[in-house]
Amino acid sequence: MSTHGPIATHRTATGIPTGRLAVWWLLASEIFIFGGLIMCFLLFKFNNAPGFEDASMTSTAAGAFNTFVLLTSSLTIVLAHAASERGDTSASFRYIWFTIGGGLVFMLVKTYEYSTKILLGHTLTDNIFWSFYYTATGLHALHVFGGMVIMAIISFDVRKNYNLQRVELIGIYWHFVDIIWIFLFPILYIANF
Amino acid sequence: MVQQVETISHETEAHGTHHEMSFWEKYILSVDHKIIGLQYLFTGLFMAAIGGYFAYAFRMQLAFPGAEVPLFGYVDPAKFNMLVTNHGTIMIFWVAMPVLIAAFGNWMIPLMIGCDDMVFPRLNRLSYQIFLASALVLILSFFVEGGGFGGAWTSYPPLSAAAEYNLTNWGASLWLLAVALEIVAFLLGGINFITTTMNARAPGMGMMDIPIVIWMIDIAVILFMASVGPLIAGAVMLFFDQRLGTSFFLPSGGGDPLLWEHLFWFFGHPEVYVVLLPTMGIVAEIITVFSRKKLFGYRTILYTAFGTGGLSFIVWAHHQFVAGIDPRMANVFVVTTILISIPIAEMLFSYIATLYGGSIEFTTPMLWALSFLVSFLIGGVTGIYLGASALDVYFHDSYFVIAHFHYTFFPITIIGMFAAMTFWFPKMFGRMMDETLNKIHFWGTFIPFNGLFLPLFLVGMAGQHRRISDFTQYPDLASPDLQGIRIFATVSLLIMLLFQFVFIYNFFNSMFKGKKALMNPWRATTLEWTIPSPPPHGNFAEMPTVYRGPYEYSVPGHDEDYWPQHIPPKSNV
């Protein structure tokens, strides 16, 4: 760890590194944002709002494939963390870029899904279901994209053997992005109740 | 190992101070928590001036309907709506939160827990910059075509969701954007506050040695974090309704306007406690110092704060008793709403028990703290009336509600702010404020405050509705008696506003010409009083170690009547 910055940054009265603590608090606040959005979706759904039968039109296969991709990328970021703990920075760098690649595949499939749906006329304003579909998956995709950018920045630091603890921090975040998808996938792609 | 890290970074710090900083580096782009605290304070005070000016304009219209208001002009109904909406929005989001949480949180957290800065100084600066941007966006929204948003600070759809209803196409969206930016600023700042308190405490400072005001700020931040999430989702949805043509909240497209009310008040009610708790903490610090007694029931106060925070998440629908919710659900919320008065009352009793038998000094901060207890009590008691759904059917949206929440928010925001400013002024600026002028300002604010809001309970009970700009058109409400009360309230406001100039003069005059303040002018025990006033960059010349709780006053057997946290026990000397 660097000795840069104020003394406060390097204290750990709780025994938990400050960066990890901050990421957990960030994710805590994110849970309430996505939680609120999913709650709204379910309320509409259980009140039989019109348009929710369109849930059957989302491609379960594409969603399942993306779930697989995202979960695999979570494995590679764990491997990146393990490699950086060992001090094997070049392996860590490689695994981080595998993870970014996973994110990229996820985004490409998402683009394909969006464009086919839009071509069928199911745009953001079509009905409440599609409004939720684009809002929820779009907000999630923004998180995926943000994670990819941060990972790219971190990867070059890692190669210079600098700020290695950040691999773990982005890993925690990436798992969170996964978990959000684990909630979105069933309610938007599978459930048709 | 920690010790080693501290010495190393301390050396770099010492070298850093030789470097001459320009005004821009030192005050605008600073990452020092004290400077950022001042930035929040002055931005908050500037916004308070705008909020006060708006209140002046619409109170003048209510007292003298149709008249040209000096320094404003004629207040037509659209302008009236815009004024009340933005008065509420500004006072909550741009005054109460930045001043009570961000300004004093920034100043006091590192000083009171004994470290040199926040754990993430650059994140702290970013938080302020986003906050400043949010304030600028809000101010910009007053000048766009159609004017500022006028759909109340609660921004209920469908009125807020479609430009053809609210007639403020850009005003409504900029308002929403400003609120969203403000929320982001406070989420970022909040993460910094909690992490700092958890991890950067001085050696020896256990959880139960943290001054109560820091606890309160952190609990407030956690409440904010947990309550605002669904509103962020809601704000995105409302923004899409406004700008992209979705209909999440528009019944015409299958949406549900009531959903917004739930999302808003799920945030809106905990928000009351988000701003209340920091002031409760400020008041606790002040009354212990000026009673020269240990705070009564430190843990009790803490647990009641947790209890209040927890309960605050299940009371929100008491804002919606007449919004068409199921009456059976209303019964549940009546019970939870009345329940929440128990922990708050317990907290107030602890404060009164602290005062009991103390050697009370009536300094200005103490007067503010005591006046807080008295006036917040009125706000709390009238809340019990409104929490009962049967009574609320009559009182809803009347001036009774206005008077009630101003008896909570005015003590929280304005009284809490003055209490904290007069108490910590010597530490912040290294000089004492003029005590006589301070007392003149106190009485000149506190008496007109009651003159302003007590009469509003009466007009509210008479049935005066809060969203009407001109009561002369309603025969039942146009009687000279009621108009007399309205004029009395407005004149009280004018007197109160005039007395603020006494404070402004005193504030700036004392900042430059006041008597030099000693290190510890109030003979207090917490860590911020153990360093020079104002504190140097890096705060502590030698990082302190903590040996005892924060409120050791009049300890039997100790020579002085206060025993600071950092002094080692005698056996160690």
* pLDDT the model gives residue A43: 93
Residues of A in contact with B190 (CB under 8 A): 25, 29
Of A36, A47, A131, the CB nearest to B230: A36
- The least confident of A44-53, A173-182, B105-114, B550-559 is A44-53
* pLDDT the model gives residue A142: 97
Residues of A in contact with B191 (CB under 8 A): 22, 25-26, 29
Contact B246 A40 (CB under 8 A): no
The dotted CATH code for B30-572 is 1.20.210.10
In angstroms, the separation between the Cα of residue B561 and the nearest Cα of chain A is: 30
Omega into B158 within 30° of 0, i.e. cis? yes
- Backbone CA torsion sign across B93, B99, B100, B105: positive
From the number of C-beta atoms within 10 Å of its C-beta (0-12, 13-18, 19+), residue B23 rates as exposed
* SS3 (DSSP) at B73: strand
CA B202 – CA B212 distance, rounded (Å): 16
Residue A48 forms contact with B (CB below 8 Å): no
Q: CATH code at A123?
A: 1.20.120.80
The helix-helix angle for A165-185 and A89-119 (nearest 10°) equals 30
Of A16, A26, A124, the CB nearest to B191: A26
CB neighbourhood size of B188 (10 A)? 20
Residue A28 forms contact with B (CB below 8 Å): yes
In angstroms, the separation between the Cα of residue B111 and the nearest Cα of chain A is: 11
**How many CB contacts within 8 angstroms connect chain A with chain B?**
160
CA A4 – CA A19 distance, rounded (Å): 14
Contact B229 A30 (CB under 8 A): yes
- Token pair, residue B526, equals 């917490």
CA B330 – CA B461 distance, rounded (Å): 22
CA B276 – CA B299 distance, rounded (Å): 18
* pLDDT the model gives residue B28: 82
Contact B259 A43 (CB under 8 A): yes
Contact B253 A10 (CB under 8 A): no
Domain total in chain A: 1
Which B residues in the span 384-413 are in contact with A, Cβ-Cβ below 8 Å?
none
pLDDT digits (tens, 9 = 90+) for B491-543: 999 999 999 999 999 999 999 999 999 999 999 999 999 999 999 989 999 99
Q: Which residues of B273-305 are buried (b: 16+ CB within 10 A; e: fewer)?
A: bbbbbbbbbbbbbbbbbbbebbbbbbebbbebb
DSSP B99: I
Of B196, B231, B234, the CB nearest to A8: B196
Mean pLDDT over A33-40 rounds to: 96
B465 forms beta bridges with B398
Contact A11 B199 (CB under 8 A): yes
Helix (H) or strand (E) holding B346: helix B341-355
Omega into A186 within 30° of 0, i.e. cis? no
* pLDDT the model gives residue B20: 67
Token pair 């058109």: residue = B473
Biggest alpha carbon–alpha carbon distance for chain A: 58
Task: Assess if residue A89 is contained within a domain.
Answer: yes
- For residue A32, the Cα-to-chain-centroid distance in whole angstroms is 15
Residues of A in contact with B250 (CB under 8 A): none
Q: Has residue A70 got a pLDDT over 70?
A: yes
Residues of A in contact with B5 (CB under 8 A): 3, 7, 10
**Alpha helix ranges (H) inside chain A:** 7-10, 18-46, 60-86, 89-119, 128-159, 165-185
Whether the Cβ atoms of residue B395 and residue B466 lie closer than 8 Å to each other: no
**Alpha helix ranges (H) inside B64-120:** 77-89, 104-113
pLDDT band for position A48 (cuts 50, 70, 90): confident
Whether the Cβ atoms of residue A93 and residue A155 lie closer than 8 Å to each other: yes
| pTM of the full structure | 0.94
Residue boundaries of the structural domains of chain B: 30-572
Q: Which residues of B123-152 are buried (b: 16+ CB within 10 A; e: fewer)?
A: bbbbbbebbbbbbebbbebbeeebbbbbbb
Of A7, A43, A49, the CB nearest to B116: A7
Residue A93 forms contact with B (CB below 8 Å): no
CA B532 – CA B537 distance, rounded (Å): 11
Contact A131 B5 (CB under 8 A): no
Which of B2, B6, B8, B9 best probes binding to A when mutated, by most A CB atoms within 10 angstroms?
Answer: B9
Range of the domain at A51: 16-190
CA-wise closest residue to B277 among B228, B236, B218: B218
Residue B192 forms contact with A (CB below 8 Å): yes
Contact B236 A135 (CB under 8 A): yes
pLDDT digits (tens, 9 = 90+) for A90-117: 999 999 999 999 999 999 999 999 999 9
Mean pLDDT per 10-residue interval, chain B, length 573 residues: 39 46 81 95 97 97 95 95 97 97 97 96 96 98 95 95 93 97 96 96 95 97 96 96 95 92 96 97 97 96 97 95 89 95 96 96 97 96 94 95 97 97 96 97 98 96 93 91 96 98 97 95 96 93 94 91 91 53
In angstroms, the separation between the Cα of residue A180 and the nearest Cα of chain B is: 14
Rounded to whole angstroms, what are the CA distances from A110 to A73, A132, A149?
16, 15, 18
CA B457 – CA B462 distance, rounded (Å): 9
In angstroms, the separation between the Cα of residue A117 and the nearest Cα of chain B is: 17
Which B residues in the span 483-542 are in contact with A, Cβ-Cβ below 8 Å?
538
Rounded to whole angstroms, what are the CA distances from B371 to B283, B333, B349, B410, B470?
10, 30, 15, 11, 33
- Give me the interface pTM, i.e. the ipTM: 0.95
In angstroms, the separation between the Cα of residue B115 and the nearest Cα of chain A is: 6
Task: Assess if residue A8 is contained within a domain.
Answer: no
B516 forms beta bridges with B431
Token pair 């960066």: residue = A19
CA atoms within 13 A on the CB side of B568: 7
In 3-state terms chain B splits into helix, strand, coil percentages (rounded to 5) of 70, 0, 30
Mean pLDDT over A41-46 rounds to: 92
Chain A nearest-CA residue for B16 = A5
Of A14, A39, A44, the CB nearest to B198: A14
Residue B133 forms contact with A (CB below 8 Å): no
Residue A5 forms contact with B (CB below 8 Å): yes
DSSP B97: I
Which amino acid would we find at residue A142? Answer: L
DSSP B283-343: HHHHHHHHHTSPPTTHHHHHHHHHHHHHHGGG-GGGG-TTTT--HHHHHHHHHHHHHTHHH
